[in-house]
Amino acid sequence: MRHWLRLIKYSLLHEIAKYKAEPWMPNIFTQKLLSPIFLIGCGRSGTTIMGKILSEHPNISYLFEPYHLWAAVDPRTDILNLYSIIDADLLMNESHYSWESQMRFNRLFLYGHKNKNILLEKTPLNAMRIGYLNALAPEAKFIHIVRDGIDVSLSIDRLASTNSYKIAGKPQFNQWWGVQNYKWTALSRDGAAAGYYPDEINQLQDNQGKGAYEWLVTLGEIERWREFLGNRLYEITYNQMTGNPAETLRNICQFLQVDISSNWIEKATKTILPARSTLGNTLQLPSGMCASFNLHQTQFNFPNRAIPL
């Protein structure tokens, strides 16, 4: 029964989004637009808990992984093929921008949120679309959460392998890699085209290795845009968030230029659990990926290391 309800939910949300994105909607230029903040990071890195906490701040309007809205802005964003079978793009940049997508983005994301100043949008894979997001919202800020790569790859492996999330009409849907594993097809294609270990991708045969590759590409795209974004990028590690949540939240509020509420911080910190120790988990990667993986682990002071295949 649930898989049918999910089909109805996704279809309905997408149709409503397409309707709201049409040009006969109210003129957006007569309305106040929110300031967009993108919460990004490789999936399974803590973006969900951080998004939930920030969503409870009185000045923030929150959108949780609004795939239906992005598909209405541009169908090429439908990387899981939730709404149609399409040759979608995972890595997106300013070349994907159009004036029409700008109008649809403004209508669906920035207009119509009463008594709020900031829109916080949380879609982890948008870390690989910074160029596209920057074209749509040149003043946008970004909050990046990075977590130990082995923890992330193991978590991706569990979700992709268990695959308990089913949608009616999509028998070949994987909750991590999408319909017929299209997300992996796009990640390996776009990642290779961008220079991310093109000669080693075909050596990745399991979900843990593929998850580690997604982590590497995500961090690679952050690095490509770090200097350009400058003080529009605020970066934290999962360990900082779980080890010192009160200070982390105060710093984020200062970055977003919103009020720091002691009551909100006190309530929020109670929902963040300490990180579990994961020392001893292993990950094998091709030599080039392995070297880059361990370099990032050192950069962020994560203790785990990969070993070469």
Over residues 168-222, the pLDDT tens digits come to: 888 899 999 999 999 999 999 999 999 999 999 999 999 999 999 999 999 999 9
- What does the pLDDT read at residue 31? 60
Closest CA to 178 of 90, 103, 299: 90
- What does the pLDDT read at residue 228? 98
- What does the pLDDT read at residue 279? 67
Domain boundaries, the chain: 2-308
- What does the pLDDT read at residue 216? 98
For 2-308, CATH number?
3.40.50.300
Question: What's the rounded Cα separation, in Å, for the pair 63 and 183?
Answer: 22
- What does the pLDDT read at residue 26? 58
- What does the pLDDT read at residue 237? 97
Q: Show the low-confidence residues of the chain (pLDDT under 50).
A: 29-30
Closest CA to 3 of 182, 164, 176: 164
- What does the pLDDT read at residue 113? 62
- Dihedral of alpha carbons 89, 92, 94, 97, sign: positive
Check if the beta carbon of residue 28 is closer than 8 Å to that of residue 190.
Answer: no
Give the burial string for 62-98 (b: 16+ CB within 10 Å, else e): bbebbbbbbbbbbebbbbbbbbeeeebbbbbbeebbe
40 φ, ψ (degrees, to nearest 5): -130, 170
- What does the pLDDT read at residue 236? 97
Phi-psi region of 65 (alpha: psi -120 to 50; beta: other; left: phi over 0): left
